[in-house]
Amino acid sequence: MSDAKKVKFSLDGKEAESHQGVNLVQAIEENGTHVPTLCWSPGIEPCLGTCRVCTVKVNGRETAACALKIEEGMKIECDTDDLKDLRKGILELLFVEGNHFCPGCEKSGDCELQGMGYRFGMTHPRFPYRFSHYELDYRGVHLLLERNRCIHCKRCTELFSDDQGRKVFSFVGKGKDTRVEMNLDLEAKMPIHKCREAASLCPTGAIILKGQGFDRPVGTRRFDNPPDKGSKNG
Amino acid sequence: MADKKVVATVSLAGCFGCHMSMLDIDLRLLDLVQLVRFDRSPLTDIKKFTERAAIGLIEGGVCNDENVHVLREFRLNCDVLISVGECAIMGGLPALRNDIPLRECLEEAYLTGPTAVQGQRIIPHHVDLPKILDRVYPCHEIVKIDYYLPGCPPSADLIWAALSGLLSGKLDTLPRELVKYD
Ligand code: SF4
Ligand code: FES
């Protein structure tokens, strides 16, 4: 990025600097402020923009930071109490929309949704639980689709393909009836390393490797330990 | 001893795991009993409030009409009400039935399930039996809840942090590293 043109912008009222074409999340982080992201992580291009957990204000309007590139003169708000609360509210909505029974989930401790809850200090969602019905799909040879836990982030549909570049996951239906589906023929032929890859790409426990899970003691999993103390974001 | 704070606890649709975790504060129990007196609680077997409580700890969600009644009684008799554990906060494992119609659940349990006893296939119903609700409700959807201690169960350390913080009037926010959902 060092060849790219420098851009100046304002971040929470202070002057900040980055380079043309840099993702907004990264541009903000370069200037010492953390932006929480769930569906996005560095390297995901183009961004999925599905979870909205990275919401900041750009020139007075709320928008997903991961979906934008930094531009000269942008006025960005990120670390304000209102925005922190808004981001927490968005996360809470993800929790009430699905059925997230953490105590009984194979992914618990390694789930990025849960990890974000811990990072935000969420003790409970402020919205009523929907308890909608979702069909489980256990027809796969290696993988189980636990749709109760799907946050419709599109990682599996957009970023995953089998060894020969074929899409295995897709979305079916519209609006609140959207559900993730798996191509059973392709799934049956997938080697175990690809199945593992799919399961770990899913930020929640919606794609689960059959017969696995609960294989490490509590305390040794990814999100068991305190989030990095440096984080100012809640 | 007159200035001991009164604490009440109850298990609604829970498994008593949260109460076990309360006991898991180990030696700190000795500190706790210097500070509080337990009124209505399974720990004392006192079944009705004998005086107003400063703190009420609720384990379990609300799955029947008796739970609703007890929870409301706790709200009326406690200054501060705390949802303890996943079941109180979101219904927990009992709420796995929430997307299945009640009739289907009851039929599976008492009529068609493999454990239903031959010749005795009836859905229990009697005026003295609590009526099962259409779904399991988180406590805060029934009454106002002041604090939430997540976990299944919440760790003894989290329970201690909350209780000791409240009793000393120094509870600011819960230590984040103790907040877990499993
Ligand atoms: S199954 Fe997982 S990766 Fe796919 S959309 Fe749902 S949450 Fe995202
Ligand atoms: S991280 Fe930006 S929308 Fe999900």
pLDDT of the residue at A75: 98
pLDDT of the residue at A234: 39
Residue A202 lies in a domain: yes
Average pLDDT over residues B115-133: 90
CB contact residues (below 8 A), chain B span 119-148, against chain A? 135, 138, 140-141, 147-148
Evaluate if residue B115 carries a pLDDT over 90.
no
Task: Band the pLDDT of A4: cuts 50, 70, 90.
Answer: confident
Residue B105 lies in a domain: no
* Ligand with minimal distance to A68 CA: 2
A121/B95 Cβ within 8 A: no
Residue B158 lies in a domain: yes
Interface A–B counts its CB contacts (< 8 A) at: 73
Average pLDDT over residues A202-224: 93
Asked whether B12 and B130 are in contact (CB, 8 A), the reply is no
What's the CA gap between B131 and B123, in Å, rounded?
12
Domain count, chain B: 1
Residue A188 lies in a domain: yes
Q: What CATH number corresponds to the domain at position B26?
A: 3.40.50.700
* Ligand with minimal distance to A149 CA: 1
Q: What CATH number corresponds to the domain at position A36?
A: 3.10.20.740
- A10 residue type, one letter: S
Average pLDDT over residues A16-44: 95
* Ligand 1: residue whose CA is nearest its atom 4: A156
A131/B180 Cβ within 8 A: no
Evaluate if residue B98 carries a pLDDT over 70.
yes
What's the CA gap between A116 and A64, in Å, rounded?
16
Task: Choose between A213 and A167: higher pLDDT.
Answer: A167
Residue A218 lies in a domain: no
Which of A55, A79, A103 delimits the end of a domain?
A79
Domain containing residue A29:
6-79
Task: Choose between A28 and A4: higher pLDDT.
Answer: A28
- Tell me what the pLDDT averaged over chain B comes to: 94
Complex confidence, ipTM: 0.92
Task: Band the pLDDT of A34: cuts 50, 70, 90.
Answer: very high
* Ligand 2: residue whose CA is nearest its atom 1: A37
Residue B36 lies in a domain: yes
Evaluate if residue A229 carries a pLDDT over 60.
no
Instruction: Ligand 2, residue A55: give the atom nearest the CA.
Output: 2
Q: How far is the CA of A204 from the centre of ligand 1 (A)?
A: 7
B99/A99 Cβ within 8 A: yes
Asked whether B9 and B38 are in contact (CB, 8 A), the reply is yes
Instruction: Ligand 2, residue A40: give the atom nearest the CA.
Output: 1
Residue A124 has its nearest CB partner, among B92, B140, B177, at B140
pLDDT tens figures, A148-199 = 999 999 999 999 999 999 999 999 999 989 999 999 999 999 999 999 999 9
pLDDT of the residue at B154: 97
CB contact residues (below 8 A), chain A span 158-187, against chain B? none
Evaluate if residue A55 carries a pLDDT over 70.
yes
- Tell me what the pLDDT averaged over chain A comes to: 93
Tokens of B53: 């409580």
A224/B176 Cβ within 8 A: no
Residue A225 lies in a domain: no
Instruction: Ligand 1, residue A207: give the atom nearest the CA.
Output: 1
Asked whether A207 and A147 are in contact (CB, 8 A), the reply is no
Question: Which residues lie with the beta carbon below 6 Å from any ligand 2 atom?
Answer: A 37-40, 49-54, 64, 66
Query: Quick one: A116 and A54 in the same domain?
Result: no
Query: Quick one: A110 and A156 in the same domain?
Result: yes
pLDDT of the residue at B170: 83
pLDDT of the residue at B157: 96
- B158 residue type, one letter: L
Any chain B CB within 8 A of the CB of A101?
yes
Average pLDDT over residues B150-161: 96
Evaluate if residue B63 carries a pLDDT over 70.
yes
Query: Quick one: A57 and A100 in the same domain?
Result: no
Any chain A CB within 8 A of the CB of B17?
no
Residue B121 lies in a domain: no
Residue A216 lies in a domain: no
Query: Quick one: A114 and A204 in the same domain?
Result: yes
Query: Quick one: A132 and A67 in the same domain?
Result: no
Average pLDDT over residues B110-122: 88
Asked whether B175 and B165 are in contact (CB, 8 A), the reply is no
Task: Band the pLDDT of B21: cuts 50, 70, 90.
Answer: very high
Residue B13 lies in a domain: yes
What's the CA gap between A32 and A198, in Å, rounded?
32
What's the CA gap between B167 and A147, in Å, rounded?
43
Residue B165 lies in a domain: yes
Query: Quick one: A99 and A59 in the same domain?
Result: no
Q: What are phi and psi of A85, to 5 degrees?
A: -70, -40
Query: Quick one: A55 and A149 in the same domain?
Result: no
Query: Quick one: A104 and A144 in the same domain?
Result: yes
pLDDT of the residue at B2: 55
Domain count, chain A: 2
Domain containing residue B160:
5-97+133-179
Q: What CATH number corresponds to the domain at position A170?
A: 3.30.70.20
Cis peptide bond upstream of B153, omega within 30: yes
Rg (CA), chain A: 19
Query: Quick one: A110 and A202 in the same domain?
Result: yes
Q: How far is B5 from chain A (nearest CA, A)?
A: 25
CA nearest A142: which of A204, A197, A179, A221? A197
Task: Provide the percentage of residues in chain A whose pLDDT is more than 90.
Answer: 88
B138/A129 Cβ within 8 A: yes
Helix ranges restricted to H, A109-222 = 112-120, 155-159, 184-189, 192-201
Evaluate if residue B90 carries a pLDDT over 70.
yes
Residues in chain A: 234
Query: Quick one: A99 and A46 in the same domain?
Result: no
Query: Quick one: A114 and A160 in the same domain?
Result: yes
Give the count of beta carbons closer than 10 Å to the beta carbon of residue B55.
21
Residue B108 lies in a domain: no
Evaluate if residue B29 carries a pLDDT over 50.
yes
Residue A12 per-residue DSSP state:
T
pLDDT tens figures, B4-18 = 999 999 999 999 999
CA nearest A122: which of A84, A80, A81, A177? A84
Residue B109 lies in a domain: no
Asked whether A204 and A115 are in contact (CB, 8 A), the reply is no
pLDDT tens figures, A129-147 = 999 999 999 999 999 999 9
Query: Quick one: A161 and A61 in the same domain?
Result: no
Task: Choose between A176 and A79: higher pLDDT.
Answer: A79
